[in-house]
């Protein structure tokens, strides 16, 4: 608030003080005039005191509301901090679970790859065996019978 605004805000009070000083400086006032001036000053003082009380009540009420709002802001800030911490923990858990799943998936993919290779090799071996058997059954049946007997003996 600027100085000129403060002066304007208290202009009436300043004028009353100036008037009281002028009255005190006068020596030619009668007792009735002094009483009249004194009565006027008391009335103005009562008026100012009433205004001061009203302003104090308003200021106190505003201060209480401000304190309540500050307390609510503090509660909300704490709640937000708590929610932020919970969100961080949840995010950390999700990231950890995701990493674990990715690692498990990688291990599983490697296993599947190995099994696929093993299956391809086994199918290739079986195919070769079947082809050899067909060859011997078709072109050399006697040799096929000998091989079968040899396999039977090993078991």
| pLDDT of 16 above 90 | no
Quote the pLDDT of residue 3.
Answer: 58
Quote the pLDDT of residue 114.
Answer: 96
Spatial contact of 15 and 41, defined as CB atoms under 8 Å apart? no
Q: pLDDT tens for residues 111-133? A: 999 999 999 999 999 999 899 88
Pair of tokens at residue 120: 């391809």
Query: How does the average pLDDT of the chain come out, rounded?
Result: 90
pTM above 0.85, yes or no: no
Q: pLDDT tens for residues 69-99? A: 999 999 999 999 999 999 999 999 999 999 9
73-82: long-range pairs with CB below 8 Å, 24+? none
Q: Which of 5-14, 97-106, 146-155 has the lowest mean pLDDT?
A: 5-14
Model confidence band, residue 59 (pLDDT cutoffs 50, 70, 90)? very high
Spell out the residues 6+ positions from residue 23 whose beta carbon is closer than 8 angstroms to its own: 29, 37
């Amino acid at each position: 608030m600027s100085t000129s605004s403060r002066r304007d805000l208290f202009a009436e009070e300043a004028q009353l003080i100036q008037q009281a000083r002028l009255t005190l400086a006068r020596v030619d006032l009668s007792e009735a005039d002094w009483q009249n001036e004194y009565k006027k000053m008391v009335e103005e003082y009562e008026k100012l005191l009433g205004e001061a009380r009203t302003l104090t009540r308003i200021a106190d009420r505003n201060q209480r509301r401000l304190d309540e709002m500050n307390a609510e802001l503090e509660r909300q800030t704490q709640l937000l901090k708590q929610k932020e911490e919970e969100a961080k923990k949840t995010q950390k858990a999700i990231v950890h679970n995701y990493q674990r799943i990715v690692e498990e998936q990688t291990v599983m993919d490697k296993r599947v790859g190995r099994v696929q290779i093993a299956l391809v090799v086994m199918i290739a071996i079986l195919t070769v065996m079947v082809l050899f058997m067909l060859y011997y059954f078709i072109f050399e049946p006697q040799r096929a019978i000998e091989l079968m007997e040899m396999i039977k003996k090993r078991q």
